[in-house]
């Protein structure tokens, strides 16, 4: 070492010179990180509207740290999902919402938010170094969720902080007992369900939502296996096409022939209870419902749950995707403080905390690569593989239209009638005829 200093070689001099040139840059970056002024809007207060769920619990727990960091006071409220959506619609329509930040379900309210100009475009905030901490790293958010959050005009209304991929939960013990392998296709999913269906023992081969409205994502997820969605890119309904009928027929067979009695009235919670009690071999639903399955106080199948990527359909392989975003009210007078809140709540640390707590799948990719979290998780490697695999093939699970709720209602009734024995093609045709004018009117207004 001393020799190097006394008699520097050309390589040492070169390295030293490079270091001397690079040092200010490194220093500037370090200063930039350290210098980001979180206290810029200290003393302001913001109101936040959240949906009642475990993710919002985590955000409320992090509010104290946020206030200590920024000096911004937060007043947040959690409202049950349906009522939160109603509150958001009514308050945004008034033009003067009582909250500065709101969470929304992108799969339900994305287009409505764009049409009503609910939120600020976040792109300028993200690009503004004075408002965005250097370590926020927006590029870390998955391309799929970000594309989902972007509106047709390219504006980013919300940060997609939670993504729900549809997967197949399966009971490994029941599969092993009957020597059935995890299905490699959607058609195989039905044949496997038939083999596993054992009404005498009170075990259903398959369970999924049958309740109108709630049941539509099951059908649309199956339809993705045909490589198509329910509304074409040019805004036309594709709900009575051969592909739509195929998916609805499969939905009908799975629920009617291999589902539990009464599944026509099941929402996700009845499905979850049935599966959790070991009464169903497979359950197609969102990955966000996994937590209680591995809770010994609630579940009889702890350690026996398999997490499978939705099998491929005849023409394509996709996982239905649903997501929540968080944005700044356009009517807010504290937009910068609101942006600091969103930035903090969706930073790497808090997104990882969501995954650790089993509160859902975060929008950031880095969270899934945290080895310590994966090793410590009660869900095991298969769960994370399923999450990552689903993320790669994710596709919007519901049409990106304004009247999503009416769409779910009208086609939900058709699917329920189908389980009850009605002709699938006739039901879809009738529902399409009913909904077409609603869609046309929503696009005009």
**Interface residue list for another protein (CB under 8 A):** 82, 86, 89-90, 92-93, 112, 115-116, 202, 210-213, 260-266, 270, 273-274, 277, 279, 403, 405-406, 409, 413, 416-417, 420, 445
Angle CA 316–104–56, to nearest 5 = 110
Q: Are strands 394-396 and 305-309 parallel, antiparallel or unpaired?
A: unpaired
Spatial neighbors of 345 by CB under 8 A, at least 6 apart, are 59, 62, 66, 161, 326
3-state helix vs strand vs coil in the chain, percent to 5: 55, 15, 30
Nearest-approach distance from CB 90 to another protein, in angstroms: 6
The angle that helices 106-115 and 404-419 make with each other, rounded to 10 degrees, is 150
CB of 55 to another protein, least distance (A): 23
Least distance in angstroms from the C-beta of 157 to another protein: 15
CB of 391 to another protein, least distance (A): 31
Q: Please state, in angstroms and as integers, the Cα–Cα distance from residue 245 to each residue in 144, 310, 364, following that order.
A: 27, 19, 36
Angle between helices 216-223 and 242-258 (to 10 degrees): 120
Task: Give the nearest distance from C-beta 51 to another protein in angstroms.
Answer: 16
What is the Cα–Cα distance from 23 to 21, expressed in whole angstroms?
6
Q: Using the minimum distance from each CB to another protein, give the nearer residue, 355 or 418.
A: 418
165 pairs with which residues across the strands? 321
- Residue closer to another protein by CB (options 225, 412) is 412
Polymer length of the chain:
445
Nearer to another protein, 312 or 331 (CB): 331
Closer by beta carbon to another protein, 263 or else 350: 263
Minimum distance of another protein from residue 166's CB (angstroms): 21
Of 163 and 204, which has the nearer Cβ to another protein?
Answer: 204
Give the closest residue to 287 by CA, choosing from 192, 196, 162, 371.
Answer: 162
Which pair of structure tokens corresponds to residue 80? 């049950």
Minimum CB distance to another protein smaller for 107 or for 279? 279
Report the sign of the C-alpha dihedral through residues 146, 375, 387, 304, in that order: negative
Phi, psi of 126 (to 5 degrees): -65, -40
For another protein, the closer CB: 126 or 413: 413
d(CA 179, CA 192): 10
Q: Considering the complex, what minimum distance in angstroms separates the CB of residue 354 from another protein? A: 28
* Shortest distance (Å) from residue 102 CB to another protein: 15
C-beta closer to another protein: residue 124 or 265: 265
């Amino acid at each position: 070492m001393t020799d190097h200093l006394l008699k520097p070689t050309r390589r040492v001099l070169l390295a030293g010179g490079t270091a001397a040139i690079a040092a200010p840059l490194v220093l500037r970056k370090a200063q930039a990180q350290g210098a980001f002024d979180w206290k810029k809007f200290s003393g302001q207060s913001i109101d936040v509207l959240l949906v009642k769920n475990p993710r919002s619990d985590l955000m409320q727990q992090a509010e104290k740290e946020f206030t200590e960091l920024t000096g911004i006071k937060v007043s947040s409220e959690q409202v049950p999902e349906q009522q939160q959506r109603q509150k958001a619609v009514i308050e945004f329509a008034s033009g003067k919402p009582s909250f500065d930040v709101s969470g929304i379900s992108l799969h339900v309210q994305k287009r409505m938010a764009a049409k009503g100009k609910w939120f600020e475009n976040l792109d300028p905030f993200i690009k503004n170094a004075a408002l965005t901490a250097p370590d926020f790293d927006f590029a870390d958010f998955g391309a799929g969720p970000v594309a989902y959050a972007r509106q047709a005009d390219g504006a980013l209304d919300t940060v997609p902080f939670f993504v729900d991929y549809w997967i197949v939960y399966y009971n490994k013990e029941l599969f092993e007992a009957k020597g059935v392998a995890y299905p490699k296709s959607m058609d195989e999913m039905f044949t496997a369900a038939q083999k596993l269906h054992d009404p005498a023992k009170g075990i259903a081969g398959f369970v999924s939502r049958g309740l109108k409205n709630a049941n539509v994502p099951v059908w649309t997820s199956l339809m993705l296996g045909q490589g198509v969605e329910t509304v074409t890119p040019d805004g036309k309904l594709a709900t009575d096409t051969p592909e739509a009928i195929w998916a609805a027929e499969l939905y009908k067979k799975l629920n009617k022939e291999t589902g539990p009695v009464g599944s026509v009235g099941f929402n996700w919670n009845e499905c979850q209870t049935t599966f959790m009690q070991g009464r169903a071999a497979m359950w197609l639903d969102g990955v966000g419902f996994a937590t209680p399955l591995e809770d010994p106080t609630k579940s009889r199948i702890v350690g026996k749950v398999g997490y499978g990527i939705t099998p491929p359909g005849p023409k394509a392989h996709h996982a239905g995707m649903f997501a929540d975003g968080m944005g700044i009210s356009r009517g807010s007078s504290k937009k910068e403080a609101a942006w600091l809140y969103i930035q903090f709540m969706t930073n790497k640390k808090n997104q990882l905390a969501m995954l650790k707590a089993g509160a859902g799948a975060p929008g950031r990719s880095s969270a899934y690569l945290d080895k310590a979290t994966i090793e410590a998780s009660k869900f095991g490697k298969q769960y994370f593989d399923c999450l990552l695999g689903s993320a790669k093939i994710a596709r919007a699970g519901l049409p990106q239209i304004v009247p999503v709720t009416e769409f779910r209602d009208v086609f939900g009734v058709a699917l329920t009638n189908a389980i009850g024995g009605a002709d699938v093609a006739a039901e879809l045709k009738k529902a399409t005829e009913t909904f077409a004018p609603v869609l046309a009117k929503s696009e005009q207004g």
